[in-house]
Structure 1
Amino acid sequence: MTSTRRSWSFRTRLTALIAAVFVAGGTALLVVQYLLVQGLFEDAIGSITSCVDDRGVTVVAGADSELDCQTMSDGWGTDPGPAPSADEDYAVIVEQTTLLSEDVLSGLLLWSIVTLLVFTGLAVAAASWLSRRSFARIGQITTTTQQITRNDLHQRLDLPGPADEIKELGDTIDTMLDRLQASFTQQERFITNASHELRTPLTTTRTSLEIPLEQGEIPEHLVPAVRRALEANQRSEELIAALLALARTTRAEPSTRAARRTQLTPIITESLAQHQQDIEDRHLTVTTELVGTSAPTTDEALLALAIENLVDNAIQHNVDRGAVHIVTGEDDAQVWIEVANDGPPLSSEEAAQLVEPFNRGPHTRTTAGGRSLGLGLTLVQNIADSIGATLTLTPGTDGGLVARLSCPPAT
């Protein structure tokens, strides 16, 4: 079972690591200090109890005891009372020094704990400041990179600051963006130029075949071959037109014009009328639930092209005597159009991959007769990116595909 618990971010882990190092160092320092003070007290007690009094009583041999011994001898010599016994002297000295050391050590332990707690708070604050300062420029890289899309590859990070590893990372990303922009530009230019160059010879070929066919100059046994050549020629022209549309939508940048409300019902009705012959030929059942919804968009032509391709996809990728269901709706968050069609079952992965160019699904060749170009949903995805909409593809409950184009509300 996969855990859904979210792990700490790298910045949080770095903060915890720095704070832990500081706290561990402070703890070690306080422990060493406590042990040193405890050892010094033990040495002092040993020195005090090593004195030899003026009556010749020796207790314990010690090291540096000359001053203390002199002080105790003077004290005993001036005391008018009876001189204490050696055992009493020893007991009093040991008890007093022991109590003194215990009192100091307990106080030292308490203040060490308080100091450690304060030091822990300061360590966490310092670690958080250090990690935030270290990741500020990385956060700038992340924010700017997230804003760069296919439609605005001209943006660059241009990261300021010293020439360190982080600036080197930013410069590397800028270099990668340069290569990506050059690659996309070259690809789009090639598609456009190739498509324009191919249209002329295809038009010439179609005309050269249609004229003798209509005039009856082609032998009867060659007519089927000529018609197949015309169908292949038509398919090539449709492919070129789709590639040109794809290149145009790929280059399309988000418009700065104010969004206008565009009625969806006339667009859907017009698209169904254009495909009426295909609907009748395949005996499809088309049902609609159009509530007069209008979508805010800055480019009505692109929105109409997206809806037309959704309808065309639902018809071409359907089964004979299947159904097409079109629904529009609006709520506080978005305006949407949903187009569903019948067909073989699809997995969620297969449905998501249908936006890839020339991906016609695993069953298209048998259901659509090979007429599909595999660019319809790619066009819709590109248009959705350009107008700020969202395309969602999900498998139908009983097979087929449900495609929803959601437009954000007008601002």
Structure 2
Amino acid sequence: MTTIRVRLTLIYSGLFLLTSVVLLVTVNLLLSQALHTRIARFPMPAPVKPVKPVVPGEAVRGVPERPSPPPLPRLVDDVVGYQWEVTVLTVGILTLVSLAVGWLVAVRILRPVHRITATARRLSLSNLHERIALTGPKDELKELADTFDAMLDRLERSVEGQRRFIANASHELRTPLAVQRAAIEIGLPEDVGEIRDKLLFHNRRTENLIDALLVLAQAEHGLERSGPVALDEVVRLVLAEGGSGHVTVTARTEPFVVDGDPVLLNRLVTNLVDNAVRHNHPGGTVEVTLAHGILTVRNTGPEVPWERFGDLFEPFRRLHTTREQGAGLGLSIVASIAKAHGADVRARPNPGGGLELTVAFAGHRDRSRKTRPVPEVL
């Protein structure tokens, strides 16, 4: 694949060499023709008789005649041949010079394009405030950079509007549900316990669904705040607060600090552990490991067919449809939070059933740096 820089270099060099060769060849041809024309106008000298050889003992009569000079046409051919040799050497030198100059010119012309490309690669939802701010003459590249900056302005306003909508929706949706739950718990008598429990179950399920959707939307819109977070402390806090029930949970962690949002990272670990506990069987195990920046959650449980692995991280996809299952957003939220933190999420089956979910974070940071406090509630 040929880059634009190489193509521009070849175009500049080709045009320069073409004009140079045409110029030199034309000059040589015209020079050769002019010399032959001028020489043809000169009168040709009379032929010179050959000098008689001197015989020893014979008297020399007169002065011996000088040999005739070489003919002028041969001299013209020598001059034109030398001119062609110089032309070939000059074209070779110009080829190297034109390639070097063409490369430098292409680099200089494409420098603004590289700046635009670097900015586009660096941008994400967490740094939409950055701009190219290209300076220089108002040419096509300046117009392209200004158009890109204007597009970023519109995109930033749109993202900020969506974030405000998420915050407002979080308040407006959670408040009536909380009031509804309180009314059910206080207003309904004890003799309608089955109906009361069913209403409370659906109320909590709706709250969990709304909370999951809001977290998913927040993760997909990038990080509003970022700072060093001790991920090992997050794992220990989640395991200390969560209930394992009929499943044995073991953990092995080492100090690891990642740049991110402590609330979202807490939710990522919570969803992984909750998914491992929920999709398990009585007496099963869950192993949580954090080593070398890789968080691994491995559990026992039912086998997952290979054809269903593509559905694990899709929203509202459930492998089972029991009453205890959630809305199918747990691993979708994990994938979105990991993507917002530049991490990679993978899943593979365990021999005998269950899953192994891994989240590989990008970099390791010094634990001695000041970290952000881990929230104790979600």
What do the CA deviations read for 1:301-342 (whole angstroms, capped 9, x no partner)? 5443332233234444x3646764432212xxxx22122456
Structure 1 unmatched runs, 5+: 1-6, 48-64
Offset at 1:41? 4.6
- Specify the code of the residue in structure 2 equivalent to 1:192: A
1:61 counterpart residue number: none
Separation of aligned partners in 2, 1:29 and 1:291? 76
- Specify the code of the residue in structure 1 equivalent to 2:200: L
Offset at 1:22? 1.3
Separation of aligned partners in 2, 1:153 and 1:119? 47
What do the CA deviations read for 1:124-177 (whole angstroms, capped 9, x no partner)? 222122212211222222223333220121222222222221121112111211
The one of 27, 30, 33 equivalent to 1:33 is: 27
2:333 counterpart residue number: 378
Indicate if the aligned counterparts of 1:364 and 1:372 stay in contact, CA closer than 8 A.
no
- Specify the code of the residue in structure 1 equivalent to 2:319: T
- SS, match of residue 126 in structure 2: helix
Alpha carbons of structure 1 residues 349 and 13: separation in structure 2 relative to 1, 3 Å = farther
2:200 counterpart residue number: 230
Indicate if the aligned counterparts of 2:248 and 2:285 stay in contact, CA closer than 8 A.
yes
Structure 2 unmatched runs, 5+: 50-61, 367-378
Indicate if the aligned counterparts of 1:327 and 1:338 stay in contact, CA closer than 8 A.
yes
Alpha carbons of structure 1 residues 373 and 366: separation in structure 2 relative to 1, 3 Å = closer
What do the CA deviations read for 1:5-31 (whole angstroms, capped 9, x no partner)? xx2321222112211221222223233
What do the CA deviations read for 1:50-106 (whole angstroms, capped 9, x no partner)? xxxxxxxxxxxxxxx2xx21x736999xx965799xxxx8xx86xx34532332233
1:304 counterpart residue number: 266
Separation of aligned partners in 1, 2:334 and 2:155? 21
Determine whether 1:329 maps to 2:291.
yes
Identical amino acids, percent of aligned pairs: 28
The one of 10, 19, 22 equivalent to 1:16 is: 10
1:402 counterpart residue number: 357
The one of 116, 121, 132 equivalent to 1:157 is: 132
What do the CA deviations read for 1:362-393 (whole angstroms, capped 9, x no partner)? x53547865134155435643663xx552332
Separation of aligned partners in 2, 1:135 and 1:113? 33
Alpha carbons of structure 1 residues 194 and 291: separation in structure 2 relative to 1, 3 Å = closer
Alignment of 1:92-241 (within 5 A): 96-211=71-186, 215-216=190-191, 218=192, 223=194, 227-241=197-211
Alpha carbons of structure 1 residues 80 and 231: separation in structure 2 relative to 1, 3 Å = farther
Indicate if the aligned counterparts of 1:348 and 1:394 stay in contact, CA closer than 8 A.
no
Separation of aligned partners in 1, 2:161 and 2:291? 40
Separation of aligned partners in 1, 2:140 and 2:273? 51
Separation of aligned partners in 2, 1:365 and 1:182? 40
2:343 counterpart residue number: 390
The count of aligned residue pairs is: 348
Indicate if the aligned counterparts of 1:154 and 1:181 stay in contact, CA closer than 8 A.
yes
Alpha carbons of structure 1 residues 377 and 295: separation in structure 2 relative to 1, 3 Å = farther
- Specify the code of the residue in structure 2 equivalent to 1:150: L
1:350 counterpart residue number: 310
Indicate if the aligned counterparts of 1:195 and 1:243 stay in contact, CA closer than 8 A.
no
2:257 counterpart residue number: 295
Separation of aligned partners in 2, 1:348 and 1:173? 41
1:72 counterpart residue number: 45
State the superposition RMSD in angstroms.
3.8
Separation of aligned partners in 2, 1:291 and 1:159? 47
TM-score normalised per structure 2? 0.75
TM-score normalised per structure 1? 0.70
Separation of aligned partners in 2, 1:170 and 1:246? 33
Indicate if the aligned counterparts of 2:9 and 2:103 stay in contact, CA closer than 8 A.
yes
Alpha carbons of structure 1 residues 214 and 110: separation in structure 2 relative to 1, 3 Å = farther
- Specify the code of the residue in structure 2 equivalent to 1:240: I
Which structure has more relative contact order (CA 8 Å, sep 6+)? It is 2
Alpha carbons of structure 1 residues 404 and 152: separation in structure 2 relative to 1, 3 Å = same
Alignment of 1:266-305 (within 5 A): 267-277=234-244, 280=246, 286=249, 288=251, 290-297=252-259, 300-305=262-267
- SS, match of residue 153 in structure 1: coil
Separation of aligned partners in 1, 2:215 and 2:5? 45
